[in-house]
Structure 1
Amino acid sequence: MSATLSLAAVLAESARKYPHKVAVVDGEQRVTYETLWLEALACAAALRDQGVGPGDRVALQIPNVVDFPRVYFGALALGAVVVPVHLLLTAEEAAYTLKDSGARLLVCHPSQAAMGAAAAGMAGVDVVAPADLLDAPPLRTYVSRAPEDPAVVLYTSGTTGEPKGAVLTHLNLVMNTIVNVFDANDARSSDVVLGCLPLFHTFGQTVGMNGTFRLGATLVMLARFTGEAALDLMVRENVTVFHGVPTMYVALLAAAEGRAAADRPQLRLCISGGAALPLAVLEKFNAAFGTNIFEGYGLSETSPTATTNQPHFGTRAGTVGHAIWGVEVEVARPEIEERIELLPAGELGEIVIRGHNVFAGYLDRPGETAAAIVDGWFRSGDLGTKDAEGFITIVDRKKDLVIRGGFNVYPREVEEALARHPGIMQVAVIGVAHPVHGEEICAVVVRDPAVPLTEDELVEWSKERLGRHKYPRQIRFVETLPLGPSHKVLKRELRRTFGA
């Protein structure tokens, strides 16, 4: 008999070990581990009654409320594959996710009903609400899966701008969850964790939710993050652990100004990821909250964590620490695509990763998978260094990637949408520095002289066609775009001109 492993065990085992402990705080709701697991098993039975079986894909369009883990672990308990839908997408973009993933069903929260119905209609997929899945008699236990079976498909934009599904296995996600909480981050079952990172995103899902449940700790949900709301909730619920992206740390610092120490949470552990954390923010936050931020690095394709600053290795501000247990992170020559050639310590190159965290590949894209995983190493496309003591520093990102508020935005996807505007002849999208979001989306546009077009008009037009994290807030009109010898747009010149 072959070995079995299911990510559903993360919740099942804590329900057995801590049945009466509060697993999730969601507003006035306090849901114990025993109750949450029984509700997940009821969801599993209801999904089965809807025709979903092991290996089928179930899409989730749910914000940070208790319905997310109910349905997430319900689908996993049935042996299905979870496809989280990004809540900032337009209906057309969400429909693409549903169609490309081959989702059998969309479970859509009432707060997302209009957009979910529109997306499902375009994709020809049935929709159910989470509440409709709680009436079935629960399954007795979860369905067995093989370690290499898919558990979750996370959609991430590629360099072509077309989103693609990164297939993560049960082994990927179970190992990343265990290593994060027991080895890398020194988390404890007594911790209370703020769940403000989007659960549709790999950071919030694996490090936040799954890590908390693996420990038997308590997850306090916050569906809409603001600095003030987060501070108030953390004080009220005695939160001890905070996971966030740099923009969240900036917002917490701003909200903390003028607050007495008693009105600030007593944070024991803080983790930052998603984008580079400015050293000044790290220092100010540590001073204001009397704690330490541990910065890490990872991608959707690496489940996500690949490296983090870890207490037992020592920490170094400005770096993303060391590789986590069971994972190797090295630096390779970026100009060699067909093989991996590692570089000596201290040299700049492409970050490459191998280990239990590397995904199974891109869904139905064997060519892109083969280009991404070479000689057993995942090519991140990010540039960095590794010093003699093993500390990893990310020096630059993929050539044109923009990270706005912790979300990856690929310029070509935005450019293709803007190019459909009748008043645009040419467009190039770049990231420019922003004090809050890290980077802001800037569209450099050559207009058609025959079509009147203002900056505000183009911003409003873009809002209707791109997700809220993608549309450009800044528009720059130019006569021509700078071109190189091969007639490619020289984006480095645009960045220099417009202050990136």
Structure 2
Amino acid sequence: MATLSVAAILAENARRRPHKEALVEGDLRLTFAQVWQRALARAGALRDLGVRPGDRVALMAPNTAEFPQAYYAVAAAGAVVVPVHLLLSPEEVEHVLTDSGVTLLLCHPAQAETGTAAARAAGVRVVTLGEEFAKLAADAEPLPAYVTRDADDPAVVFYTSGTTGVPKGAVLSHFNLVMNATVNAFDANDIRPDDIALGALPLFHAFGQTVSMNSVWRAGATLVLLPRFDAGRAIELMVAERVNTFHGVPTMFVALAAAAAGAGGLPELRVCVSGGASLPVAVLERFEAAFGARIYEGYGLSETSPAAAVNQPVFGARPGTIGHPLWGVDVEIARADVEDRIELLPAGGLGEVVIRGHNVFSGYLGRPEATAEALVDGWFRTGDLGTKDDEGFLRIVDRKKDVIIRGGYNVYPREVEEVLARHPGIAQVAVIGLPDELHGEEVCAVVVPAAEAAPDAAAITEWSKEHLGRHKYPRRVEFTDALPLGPSMKVLKRELRARYTAAG
């Protein structure tokens, strides 16, 4: 049995470079040895709370030093981290807690209201990060070392919605995550121990967790956390801390390019990585002109740890593409209309992007049918449509599903539709994504009003805010007499998108 733990990423740094600065947040500066000591003390507290190897522990926190300390404490205790998205409503958080079967929620004070309400409804114990968890850690006997896990044991469960609209838990193993961090650090991009990276991507998200936190630490580099992204503040912090590495979603690059002109000084960036949504080439060009730094755009999903392909120095970078597969990973294009098997297409063919390799997840927690649908012939079907050219450059063309990506966050129309359908003034609704300069896409609800009580657009948006996460509610509401239907009575969303994109 091969053993491996994500906790080794931090433990090995504590052994190899104990006095090196690992983590910076505001005035707090911690070395690798200090972060690891804190993680082991917190792991001791988790053990005293009854957390056993294999138990699932939810973690709800912004990008403060509390997040990595708690994350590595859960890993060190041999338990499984279930990160909770910070924009969810209490009902949505409750679903994550109950579906994953967590025994404990570690919740930051800033999230206490939502987290506590959800935990109470789910019957889950809450420990507040900060003073409460630190006191429990101080009173506990620290673990002498991290708990041994099998390489294929679960390490993290990321909640991601499929076309069903109900968020499913994607189970990622220690092997998945350690390999993804390792190839990101040493093969995809040239990360060096003396690099300093800005951790502005949410750490609860697969991109921020693997590419910012785990990959940066896998290389022994320093992570500077920014709890709330603001472009002006990010530039100031990067200059002050001599940051040379930035990972972001397209909306962050848009904001940084706009803020560059008014900034007192700009950081000297060596590595910039974009992911989470497709990066418009115009944005890439604006950013590169302002900062004199190259952006390497990549692609991945929660189910692939997440990185699957990225523009890499070894192959050359090509704007408008997602580059080449990561080391040890295959990314190919398969016939999108064949469901039960994988039929690969030759170069240039348009089809579904399929992935196999060390980064592919174990499956969806408690959902064997969904897992069997996603994992076919040893390949993961992404649901995205793309092409691969003669030189192996991959391009994402469109999404097979109608997922909306707003500011790097996935919004699943059906989930929003299910909620809006409960509004008394709505007879029928279709949710689509419309192009938006700042967020990439904006959520638009096309509503057929109920005859007896037609609401106005602003009222629907206000009502939606109470029932949906902040990234999901429709900012734009359009009214129509009838939705266009195809022969199988499905709503023709492409027609709606064309109509309302033209209407602007």
Same fold, TM-score > 0.5, yes or no: yes
Residue identity opposite 1:489 in structure 2: V
Aligned residue for 2:119? 120
Whether the 8 Å contact between 2:40 and 2:142 is mirrored in structure 1 is: yes
Residue identity opposite 1:166 in structure 2: A
Instruction: Give how far 1:287 is off.
Output: 1.2
**Pairwise mapping of residues 56-455 of structure 1 onto structure 2 (< 5 A)?**
56-131=55-130, 132-133=132-133, 134-135=137-138, 136-259=140-263, 263-455=265-457
Residue identity opposite 2:16 in structure 1: K
Structure 2: how far apart are the matches of 1:419 and 1:383? Answer: 29
Whether the 8 Å contact between 2:335 and 2:342 is mirrored in structure 1 is: yes
Any idea what the Cα deviations from partners look like across 1:405-440, whole Å, max 9, x if unmatched?
000110000000000101100000000000000000
Instruction: Give how far 1:137 is off.
Output: 2.3
Instruction: Give how far 1:448 is off.
Output: 1.0
Instruction: Give how far 1:449 is off.
Output: 2.1
Structure 2: how far apart are the matches of 1:58 and 1:321? Answer: 35
Residue identity opposite 2:500 in structure 1: F
Backbone CA RMSD of aligned residues: 0.9
Structure 2: how far apart are the matches of 1:6 and 1:481? Answer: 51
TM-score normalised by length of structure 1: 0.98
Aligned residue for 2:490? 488
Structure 1: how far apart are the matches of 2:292 and 2:402? Answer: 37
TM-score normalised by length of structure 2: 0.98
Structure 2: how far apart are the matches of 1:486 and 1:373? Answer: 27
Whether the 8 Å contact between 2:352 and 2:400 is mirrored in structure 1 is: no
Residue identity opposite 1:279 in structure 2: V
Residue identity opposite 1:5 in structure 2: L
Whether the 8 Å contact between 2:406 and 2:439 is mirrored in structure 1 is: yes
Structure 2: how far apart are the matches of 1:42 and 1:256? Answer: 42
Residue identity opposite 1:124 in structure 2: G
Residue identity opposite 2:146 in structure 1: Y
Residue 474 in structure 1 maps to residue 473 in structure 2:
no
Residue identity opposite 1:13 in structure 2: E
Any idea what the Cα deviations from partners look like across 1:20-42, whole Å, max 9, x if unmatched?
11111111100111110011011
Determine helix, strand or coil for the equivalent of 1:352. strand
Aligned residue for 1:8? 7
Structure 2: how far apart are the matches of 1:331 and 1:3? Answer: 32
Structure 2: how far apart are the matches of 1:279 and 1:44? Answer: 45
Whether the 8 Å contact between 2:426 and 2:454 is mirrored in structure 1 is: no
Whether the 8 Å contact between 2:163 and 2:401 is mirrored in structure 1 is: no
Structure 2: how far apart are the matches of 1:339 and 1:448? Answer: 44
Gaps of at least 5 residues in structure 2 are: none
Q: Which runs of 4+ in 1 moved over 3 A?
A: none
Structure 1: how far apart are the matches of 2:257 and 2:293? Answer: 13
What number of residue pairs does the alignment pair up? 497
Structure 2: how far apart are the matches of 1:317 and 1:250? Answer: 15
Instruction: Give how far 1:237 is off.
Output: 0.8
Structure 2: how far apart are the matches of 1:3 and 1:327? Answer: 21
Residue identity opposite 1:7 in structure 2: V
Structure 2: how far apart are the matches of 1:381 and 1:112? Answer: 33
Range 17-26 or range 409-418, more displaced: 17-26
Structure 2: how far apart are the matches of 1:157 and 1:398? Answer: 14
**Pairwise mapping of residues 11-50 of structure 1 onto structure 2 (< 5 A)?**
11-50=10-49
Any idea what the Cα deviations from partners look like across 1:166-195, whole Å, max 9, x if unmatched?
000000000000000101011111111000
Gaps of at least 5 residues in structure 1 are: none
Instruction: Give how far 1:130 is off.
Output: 2.2
Structure 2: how far apart are the matches of 1:306 and 1:248? Answer: 21
Instruction: Give how far 1:252 is off.
Output: 0.3
Determine helix, strand or coil for the equivalent of 2:390. coil
Instruction: Give how far 1:452 is off.
Output: 3.8
Instruction: Give how far 1:486 is off.
Output: 1.8
Determine helix, strand or coil for the equivalent of 1:277. coil
Structure 1: how far apart are the matches of 2:383 and 2:491? Answer: 20
Structure 2: how far apart are the matches of 1:476 and 1:450? Answer: 18
Aligned residue for 2:54? 55
Instruction: Give how far 1:75 is off.
Output: 0.4
Determine helix, strand or coil for the equivalent of 1:171. helix
Any idea what the Cα deviations from partners look like across 1:196-224, whole Å, max 9, x if unmatched?
00000000000000011111111111111
Instruction: Give how far 1:259 is off.
Output: 3.2
Residue identity opposite 1:494 in structure 2: L
Determine helix, strand or coil for the equivalent of 1:312. coil
Determine helix, strand or coil for the equivalent of 1:313. coil
